[in-house]
Amino acid sequence: MTDLSRRAALKGAGAGTLLAAAMAAGLLRPSDALADWNKGAFEAKTVSDALKSLKVVSPAETKDIAIKAPDIAENGAVVPIEIQSNIPGTKSIAVLIEKNPFPYAGSFDVSQGAMPFVALRVKIGESSNVRVVVATADGRFYTAVKEVKVTIGGCGG
């Protein structure tokens, strides 16, 4: 998932300030500065390519990830999702909307003092599986899915 050692190093060195200065000076584009924003994974058009960029290796299907999301979403523009991982040593939680043009929606690092939980709201273009991948501190991967149907809402006039 996100490269934690690199991120920690950047923060430790107070590099954020330096990077902001470099950006302001036009030396770096924001996307360069955000070295730990996984461009490859976010630009991947398939789930398997995204997982490859995230360095996810053979994730195991599990029932220990609880995904709370609507069976039928009232509006695909705002679909609330809550994820609770019950897997010991959960380090990060990644969310992929399988049918979206760019499936990888983001990853949440909970290893530094947060509970293995995240709530977010996402855009889902058409009925799709929401895939969650949990990475653990000891380098294992677990996954679960929840299907969300997207419907037409109002008069359409």
Owner of token pair 């991967």: 141
Instruction: Output 61 or 152, the one with its CB closest to other proteins.
Output: 152
CA torsion 39-43-48-54 (nearest 10°) is 10
Quote the CA–CA distance of 33 and 87 in Å, as a whole number.
Answer: 33
Q: What's the burial of 38, exposed, middle or buried (CB within 10 Å: 0-12/13-18/19+)? A: buried
Work out which of 15, 66, 110, 145 binds other proteins, going by CB under 8 A. Answer: 110
Query: What is d(CA 156, CA 88) in angstroms, rounded to the nearest whole number?
Result: 47
CB closer to other proteins out of 45 and 60: 45
- Give backbone dihedrals phi and psi of 106, rounded to 5 degrees, phi first: 155, 170
Residues 42-101 that bind other proteins (CB under 8 A): 42, 70-75, 77-80, 82, 97, 100
Q: Is 153 in the site for other proteins (CB under 8 A)?
A: yes
Least Å from the CB of residue 17 to other proteins: 12
Stretch that binds other proteins, among 34-42, 56-64, 135-143 (CB under 8 A): 34-42
Binding positions for other proteins, rule: CB under 8 A = 2, 7, 11, 20, 23, 30-31, 33-34, 36-38, 42, 70-75, 77-80, 82, 97, 100, 102, 104-110, 112-115, 117-123, 149, 151-157
